[in-house]
Amino acid sequence: MTNINITPETTRIGWIGTGVMGTSMCSHLISKGFKTTVYNRTKSKSQSLLDQGANWADSPRGVAENSDVIFSIVGFPSDVRNVILGNDGALKGCSAGDVLVDMTTSEPSLAIEIAEQAAASGVHSVDAPVSGGDVGAREARLSIMIGGEKSVVDALQPCWDAMGKTIIYQGGPGAGQHTKMVNQTLIATNMIGVCEALLYAYQAGLDLDTVMKSVASGAAGSWSLSNLGPRIIQGNFDPGFFVEHFIKDMGIALSEAKRMGLSLPGLALSHQLYIALASQGHQRDGTHALQLALANLAGIDWKSRSI
């Protein structure tokens, strides 16, 4: 049984990655009273956290040297490998008994590799990807899917409570990442349905807001429809989650499916549609920007239509 006591009074938090999601998530921990040290490749993106009282470190290693529990949420598996296992990565700055928590959506195999290397240094490792987008991060109601040693995960409960509402332990190292692949597979095909349905409604001459009142609360309802549908209608494609990161996630899921001998044609279709969307210059838009590509196929300029 691992004896870890996490409290704002005794536990120093480290945070690596202050992007769309990470800034809000880290902010909640600071608000709970945790002394926090942060790092991001672009320091200016951490300014709001520094203003809130966080300390700055010049590297992931520097974060770990000044922290007991180190969280990371970055872009791609290569970024995870760099900020955790790299020459100036967090593991190099950890002491025995520290905890590494990667909240990036990444490869299950990498989560297992990190856990093995961390254990060799007496360090604990947890993979804890999240779902809920920018809104869920801001409102501290993320779904957190967790893999790792159960006693360590349980000890981190004050941190989970600060960031999320649905906090589920899934199993050993990599289990959190596998669960996130299930999540992304569900979203991938659902997003096609949301965009196609709103495109159909528009072409049929229906009032989109009125249509939403009928369908969003019934059997066709979904998180994507209720939260991203209004943004699509408004022509607001600001990112809650980047297209390029979603393409990465679907690629991981397809690779894992192939390894397990599974054929997932719906996911493969969504992956190809999003690759096409990115090629049109929308890689840094939100995932609901798929509407633009599908509308374009129908000869409709979605952003310039009368809203």
Instruction: Check if 180 is active-site.
Output: yes
3-state secondary structure (DSSP) of residue 71: strand
The residue written with tokens 């990498």 in the block is 110
Q: Quickly list DSSP for 150-179.
A: HHHHHHTHHHHHHHEEEEEEEESTTHHHHH
Nearest to 20 by CA among 287, 264, 251, 258: 287
Q: What is the DSSP string of 185-236?
A: HHHHHHHHHHHHHHHHHHHTT--HHHHHHHHTTSTT--HHHHHHHHHHHHT-
* Catalytic entry in 43, 45, 92, 180: 180
Instruction: Report the distance separating Cα 71 and Cα 197, nearest Å.
Output: 38
Catalytic residues: 180
